[in-house]
Amino acid sequence: MTVIAIQGASGAGDVPGLEALAGDAELRFAPDTETLRRALDGAEVLFGWAFNAENLRDAWDCTGALRWIHWSGAGVDALMFPKLVASDIRLTNTRGIYDRAMAEYVLGLIIAFAKRFPESMTAQAERRWEHKLTERIDGKHALIVGAGSIGREIARLLRAAGMTVAGVGRSARDGDADFGVIHAFDDLNDLLGAADYVIAILPLTAATQNAFGAAQFAAMKPSARFINLGRGPSVDEAALVAALEAGEIAGAGLDVFEHEPLPAESPLWSRSDVIVSPHMSGDFHGYADDVAALFIDNYRRYRAGEPLRCLIDKQQGFAAAG
């Protein structure tokens, strides 16, 4: 039977649905580095259940039989260490699982800003009756920076809410079914000034490190809000705080950060124009079942010699074309 090492899980009870593989695979659970080293001995498949890849780096010398890694997260930047990238081991992720939840999260943040929910909740906590005018989101323009499957689902939902959308990807193209227009990443600074909401959903690569800094925030209009659900290091947080303090932008909704958990001393915690959440935008009741089901389907494809779903281009650091 094919040996599967399951990183980050202590037993079958941690991962729903694995009973479907009974009799078809030998499952070895590895909650820590030492058990992972033993589990990888002779294992062809690694199912990365925990998002932290440090123990895989530490156990890499035990991966001689490994042929395929399936990662439970949408982002795979934690796995992009040189030895894995240079290997012939195939890598897949959970592309598509978190798309709708994250799109709804973006819409929720936009409505929260437009309808001034944080201010109303503060006033409620203080038992203070404070009437306010709010904004409509119908007709507002969203620039979605990142044209992958999550960005596309965000575009579809925001368009359904009456907003106009445009996307930013690696290259420009017209007539896109979801975005209408996708602009080249090199043109980002020229596009920011037209957006009411700038939504970053970028993978973390060398090209996207600090993609949003002082120049980008200065290019946005003072009434615009910035939302980041991609990766924290794609944003220069010091520049973001400075832009908020200077009134260069009106607010920020942040689910990811340069350092996680967000340090208690970060000024982002206490700003009334910032909504902070702890890297949870894609997590919903039942998501673990969907993640496990995708792995099981891919495992059956692997055994049958069929193409794997959600294949990653390791040189690029994100989903392969097609």
Q: What is the pLDDT of residues 143-188, one digit of tens each?
A: 999 999 999 999 999 999 999 999 999 999 999 999 999 999 999 9
Spot the catalytic one: 279, 301, 303, 309: 279
The encoded tokens of residue 112 equal 């929260």
Which stretches of the chain drop beneath a pLDDT of 50?
none
Give the domains, in start order, of the chain with CATH numbers: 2-97+285-319 (3.40.50.720), 99-276 (3.40.50.720)
Residue with the two structure tokens 């009741």: 285
Position 319 scores a pLDDT of 85
Spot the catalytic one: 37, 225, 231, 248: 231
- Asked if 142 and 158 touch (Cβ cutoff 8 Å), the reply is yes
Residue with the two structure tokens 């929260």: 112
> Exposed, middle or buried: residue 88 (CB in 10 Å: 0-12, 13-18, 19+)?
exposed
Spot the catalytic one: 34, 260, 300, 306: 260
**Collapsing DSSP states into helix, strand and coil, what is residue 175?**
strand
The closest alpha carbon to 251, from 198, 210, 213, belongs to 198
Q: How far apart are CA 301 and CA 295, in angstroms?
A: 10
- Asked if 201 and 147 touch (Cβ cutoff 8 Å), the reply is no
Is 279 catalytic? The answer is: yes
Please count the CA atoms within 13 angstroms of the CA of 172 that sit on its side-chain side: 6
Q: How far apart are CA 157 and CA 153, in angstroms?
A: 6
Q: Are strands 173-176 and 180-184 parallel, antiparallel or unpaired?
A: antiparallel
The Cα-based distances of 209 to 80, 235, 255, 281 in angstroms read 14, 7, 17, 21
Total Cβ atoms within 10 A of residue 190: 10
> Exposed, middle or buried: residue 59 (CB in 10 Å: 0-12, 13-18, 19+)?
buried
Which of left, alpha, beta for 13 (phi over 0: left; psi -120 to 50: alpha)?
Answer: alpha
Torsion of CA 12, 13, 16, 22, to 10 degrees: 30
Position 321 scores a pLDDT of 60
* Strand partners of residue 253: 227, 275
Does residue 261 have a cis peptide bond before it, meaning omega lies within 30 degrees of 0?
A: yes
The closest alpha carbon to 16, from 53, 38, 56, 49, belongs to 49
Strands across the sheet containing 25-30? 25-30, 2-7, 45-48, 68-71, 90-92
Global pTM value? 0.96
- Asked if 97 and 290 touch (Cβ cutoff 8 Å), the reply is yes
